[in-house]
A and B are shown apart, each in its own frame.
Chain A
């Protein structure tokens, strides 16, 4: 009876074991859930935050402006170009007819100029309408922060993926083949890493207007080196271990040895450094935006808001809100990274639990 129970015990792969441990590290696990949820939501953000109505009922017909452009005239609004749904909503309410407008919970877009609806000069301080005030062009800061979160995180995840792809390929090649390839490869990497990243990007930005793809490309070019050393070291060490010798003694080909044996056993540093790399890349983007060499306007960006705030320090919300957002994001991701590192630690007891 007891024996049987033992046999039915679900077997745990190393990955599942680590995932279980990760889940037990509350701080990191909850941070992970929060960041993941927010990030997923940020892909459908126009449903929650945006200027376009979700549904409009006009003269017995339904319209979905969130998916399809509607001119103001076609909805009975006396405006040129696209309808302004906030005003339309008021208009319909005043008319008291059958028509109605269903807006997102927070009905302001990130790039929308609100000067015509607001009194006084921008930036406007935080209010119950505009939770984080507006910026110097009368755009809603909260909406910009929310959209900036998606752009910042997506950007850094993409850069991290590309950089890791290059880093793992190069590091794996150097560590696996060793010898002359390794020595020459390392010298080339050392030469490459002496090129100052910030100057390069400033020079490039002063020649051509940087965009998402260009910035991804440049940051990747400079971001792959760190992980390369780690992967190289792992490959070098794992290659000399007996399970790899055993694979050679079975007649496995290099491809099998690399992808089936060495690579899966060399990913510990890759996985445990990933969150910190993402943090670093978010930080890079914010810095570049701050300095004015980042994503082109009017892309919602945290760094650009901070820069506005710094120009005129009395508009404190322009500094405080992006700073707090960035702080919370980076802190959560760092918690995730810390928990991942802990989960990969073979020691049973953890100081984080």
Chain B
């Protein structure tokens, strides 16, 4: 593990078997994540961008090793190293008991603010819960910290006695953020924390995350489905397509000079603030996204790639370095 990294994901593959028939035999599999490697540096925000269903949430859940619980049949291979002080641990190798002591270090903000909060618990209880498992704070200290966190995310202390159904989607998302921060984690996986919010509130939440990042020295894996959201917050961006990373590089360059044909198309879909200034051509991809259950052979993008050739069916392109710090998974650009 390089010293500047706090998290390294190596060749992560996640497959959900599809069972059928009388004896529930495996009849197919969903390759939700199909060989993904990246690293998260200490204190940086890495943006992870891709269309719906390309496997972003699955990567997040695989990293914190919770998929085995909700989907016991899942097959996960690869390695996820996390650095804790001077130790490196492979999170995927640990049992549920062993991983427990590291859980306070790495927390996730879940994508769906409706299903990720227990409707039977008050907001105070929800935010307090991680502290029960990872800190020695007494009741009074925990209550104080809950109030402090609520204020940090822009809610009022009095609201801790309320229940989730009394909050809007955006407020719930903030509750999720407060919960993720409650144990003072080093790494936050933020799974589309703003896509459920109004544009005006999106900016608030992003600013909030940035502020907290400075304050707590957080490293954030920021998942989003379009480039416009991650541009402001991410130092580097990874663009995903159908379970693979298509391009990975500094945010600035991905945003202004993408290399991979998929990133180009994705970028051209971002609404520009001033159309006169940048009169770029809009690339409309043909066809639909194939499902991860029947991925095309070879390059996963080849059915929609504007520059696809015959050879593209025969090999799976690996991320290769194109410029300094800038990688793309296509040999023809």
Give A residues with C-beta under 8 Å from B: 7, 11-14, 17, 178-179, 239-252, 260-261, 264-265
Bound-state Cα–Cα, A246 to B133, Å: 13
Of the listed stretches B32-40, B46-54, B102-110, B198-206, chain A binds B102-110
- Which chain A positions have C-beta within 8 A of B66? 245, 248-249
Bound-state Cα–Cα, A240 to B70, Å: 4
Give the residue name and chain of the B residue nearest to A261 (CB). B118
29 interchain pairs, CB-CB under 8 A: A7-B156, A13-B122, A14-B120, A14-B163, A240-B70, A241-B70, A242-B111, A242-B112, A242-B116, A245-B70, A246-B108, A246-B116, A246-B117, A247-B129, A248-B66, A248-B69, A250-B104, A250-B107, A250-B134, A251-B99, A251-B100, A251-B101, A251-B103, A251-B134, A252-B129, A260-B118, A264-B118, A265-B118, A265-B120
- Which chain A positions have C-beta within 8 A of B110? 242, 245-246
- Which chain B positions have C-beta within 8 A of A240? 70-71
Name A's interface SS: helix
- The interface on chain B, measured as residues whose beta carbon lies within 8 A of the other chain's beta carbons, has a size of 40
Q: Is B122 within 8 A of A252, CB to CB?
A: no
Mask for B74-109, Cβ within 8 A of A = 1, else 0?
A: 000000000000000000000010011101100110
Asked whether A243 and B117 contact (CB < 8 A) given A13-B122, A14-B163, A248-B69, the answer is: yes
Give the residue name and chain of the B residue nearest to A239 (CB). B70
Give the residue name and chain of the B residue nearest to A240 (CB). B70
Bound-state Cα–Cα, A247 to B64, Å: 12
Q: Is B104 within 8 A of A251, CB to CB?
A: yes
- Which chain A positions have C-beta within 8 A of B69? 239, 244-245, 248
Q: How far is the CB of B167 from chain A (nearest CB, A)?
A: 11
Q: Is A7 within 8 A of B130, CB to CB?
A: no
Residue B161 lies at the interface, judged by CB distance under 8 Å to chain A: yes
Asked whether A264 and B104 contact (CB < 8 A) given A11-B162, A240-B70, A246-B179, the answer is: no
- Which chain A positions have C-beta within 8 A of B156? 7
Q: Is B129 within 8 A of A245, CB to CB?
A: no
A-B contact count (CB 8 A): 86
- Which chain A positions have C-beta within 8 A of B129? 247, 250, 252
Give the residue name and chain of the A residue nearest to B119 (CB). A14
Q: Is B117 within 8 A of A252, CB to CB?
A: no
What are the 9 A-B residue pairs with the smallest beta carbon separation, nearest first?
A: A242-B116, A251-B103, A251-B100, A264-B120, A250-B130, A242-B115, A11-B162, A243-B118, A240-B70
Q: How far is the CB of A236 from chain B (nearest CB, A)?
A: 11
Give the residue name and chain of the A residue nearest to B99 (CB). A251
Residue B158 lies at the interface, judged by CB distance under 8 Å to chain A: yes
Q: Is A249 within 8 A of B64, CB to CB?
A: yes
- Which chain B positions have C-beta within 8 A of A261? 118
Known pairs A11-B161, A242-B112, A246-B108 / 5 extra A-B pairs, C-beta < 8 Å: A7-B159, A243-B116, A243-B118, A249-B103, A250-B107
- Which chain A positions have C-beta within 8 A of B120? 13-14, 264-265
Q: Is B119 within 8 A of A265, CB to CB?
A: yes
Q: Is A14 within 8 A of B103, CB to CB?
A: no
